Amino acid sequence: MEELSKEYDIHVNSQRKSDLDEWVAHYRSFAIEGQTANYIPALRNAHLSQLGITILEPGGTMIKSGDWEVPFTLQSISKVLSFIAACLGRGISYVLERVDVEPTGDAFNSIIRLEMHKPGKPFNPMINAGAITVASLLPGDSSQKKLEFLYGLFENLLGKRPTINEEVYQSEWQTSHRNRALAHYLKETNYLESEVEEALEVYLMQCSIEVTTEDIALLGLILSQDGYHPVRKEQVIPKKVAKLAKALMLTCGMYNASGKFAAFIGVPAKSGVSGGIMALVPPSARSGMPFQDGCGIGIYGPAIDEYGNSVAGSLLLKQMAQEWDLSIF
Ligand SMILES: NC(=O)CC[C@H](N)C(=O)O
């Protein structure tokens, strides 16, 4: 009986791998509909047509396809991790006093709501205003100490110390005028707990952490299991914090395309302008479903659309969600 189910697993997994290879080959060409993130000089030269994916299941099954091993910077995917770190270090209620959990429908770097809605509390931690505020809330009285706290979380989750892409960091540090403007505004309204330059340094360093699709698939997998690390067999993020992070990914993670993502893909996901998408499928109550025990998904495709989301990566995720019935709704 056990032998039979093993054979079944091997068959199902090789079918999924060949489906995935076919979709990756197909959607790669859609990258020409997007552009690399031109506003960050060091991201301009990424190879438009790259597309890669890793899927990790809690039992250890791993499916990889395309350019899965190409390193890229986390950019806004880091916002999920810094929000989790701030909740761990300062407590959920303290963090939520300074940043809300409401989607905006505005661009990720928009400044408009800070002034239009008094007293100017950032709407959520997935947009830049919220993420810069969260960076200032991380424990420690210097940017280095705040970053150490954040790196500690990464080490705990991924089992390795994060590496920083210095070129991307310097490139953004020198050109981040809008983020500086956001930080100054937040300082004036007392939401920022540190100095402007300190919060910016933390925020831009976290954006410059280098990963592969395998790393973000593992982060997604841990979140899919409500903060339980299936390899280390340990609760590494409190369940309450993991659930909050997933709700924020679903409602705000794809910026002003989050509604469309929920409607047509239907899984919690977070994108970054370098072209990464961290997504996850929670365990399903319906038996016989693909990825029934849940999975983490890491995607990289550097051509992004007007919302800042990977063009080919979003199409690939949509195809997977439709074919494998992954929507949580
Ligand atoms: N959407 C993103 O990935 C934005 C992150 C980028 N570092 C910025 O602040 O503009």
pLDDT digits (tens, 9 = 90+) for 67-84: 999 999 999 999 999 999
Q: Catalytic pick from 27, 64, 65, 76?
A: 76
Residues present in the chain in total? 329
Q: In angstroms, rounded to a whole number, what is the distance separating the alpha carbons of residues 64 and 8?
A: 19
What DSSP character marks residue 289?
Answer: -
pLDDT tier for residue 49 given thresholds of 50, 70 and 90: very high
Bridge partners of 52, per DSSP, are 66, 300
Q: In angstroms, rounded to a whole number, what is the distance separating the alpha carbons of residues 205 and 199?
A: 10
pLDDT tier for residue 6 given thresholds of 50, 70 and 90: low
The pLDDT, as a whole number, for residue 207 is 98
Q: Give ipTM to 2 decimals.
A: 0.96
* Active-site annotation holds for 273: yes
Q: Are 39 and 175 in contact (CB under 8 A)?
A: yes
- To test the ligand 1 pocket, which listed residue (40, 72, 74, 75) has its Cβ within 8 A of the most ligand atoms? 75
The pLDDT, as a whole number, for residue 4 is 53
Q: Flag whether pLDDT at 144 surpasses 80.
A: yes
pLDDT tier for residue 169 given thresholds of 50, 70 and 90: very high
**308 in contact with ligand 1, CB cutoff 6 A:** yes
Q: Is 165 left (phi over 0), alpha (psi -120 to 50) or beta?
A: beta
Q: Is 190 annotated as a binding residue?
A: no
Q: Are 17 and 65 in contact (CB under 8 A)?
A: yes
98 vs 118 pLDDT, higher one: 98
Mean pLDDT of 84-107: 95
- To test the ligand 1 pocket, which listed residue (207, 270, 274, 309) has its Cβ within 8 A of the most ligand atoms? 207
Distances (CA, A) of 135 to 88, 109, 123, 153, 167: 13, 15, 15, 14, 21
Write down the mean pLDDT value for the chain. 94
* Active-site annotation holds for 79: yes
Smallest CA-to-CA distance from 206 within 82, 298, 84 is with 82
| Cα of 265 from ligand 1 centre, angstroms | 23
Q: Flag whether pLDDT at 1 surpasses 70.
A: no
Give me the phi and psi of 38, to 5 degrees please. Answer: -70, -25
The pLDDT, as a whole number, for residue 307 is 94
Q: Catalytic pick from 27, 203, 228, 300?
A: 203
- Is the bond preceding residue 268 a cis peptide, omega within 30 degrees? no
| Cα of 56 from ligand 1 centre, angstroms | 26
Q: Flag whether pLDDT at 175 surpasses 70.
A: yes
Mean pLDDT of 158-165: 96
**179 in contact with ligand 1, CB cutoff 6 A:** yes
Q: Catalytic pick from 134, 241, 267, 273?
A: 273
CB within 8 Å of 325: residues ≥ 6 apart: 289, 290
**126 in contact with ligand 1, CB cutoff 6 A:** no
Strands 209-211 and 72-73: antiparallel
